[in-house]
Amino acid sequence: MTKNLEKAIEKIRKSLSIDGGDLEVVSFDTKKNIITIKLLGVCQHCPMAEMTITGFIQEELRKVIPNIIVKRDRI
């Protein structure tokens, strides 16, 4: 991952931690620009998790990589 992407992820993690959540990067396909994440803490079972992924996490990461897609690892 690039330094800018890592910085964006750390910024997102700090925001999620305010509400008791977190995320873990499971994988990043650089050819397809698909990042797979695992939600942790209260985010893991939150009914708004999908909205958080598309409306917050993906939008923040698109500031660094405009066409990135965020997928959720549910395992």
The secondary structure of residue 44, as a DSSP letter, is: G
**Considering the entire predicted model, what is its pTM?**
0.90
In this structure, what CATH number is given to the domain that contains residue 16?
Answer: 3.30.300.130
Host domain of residue 33: 3-72
CA–CA distances in Å: residue 5 to residues 20, 47, 75: 22, 26, 23
For 44-61, how does the pLDDT look when each residue is reduced to its tens digit (9 = 90+)? 999 999 999 999 999 999
For 3-40, how does the pLDDT look when each residue is reduced to its tens digit (9 = 90+)? 999 999 999 999 999 999 999 999 999 999 999 999 99
User: Which residue do the tokens 């994440």 mark?
Assistant: 37
The full DSSP string for 52-72 is HIIIIIHHHHTTTSTT-EEEE
**Residue 36 pairs with which residues in a beta bridge?**
27, 71
Q: How many domains, the chain?
A: 1
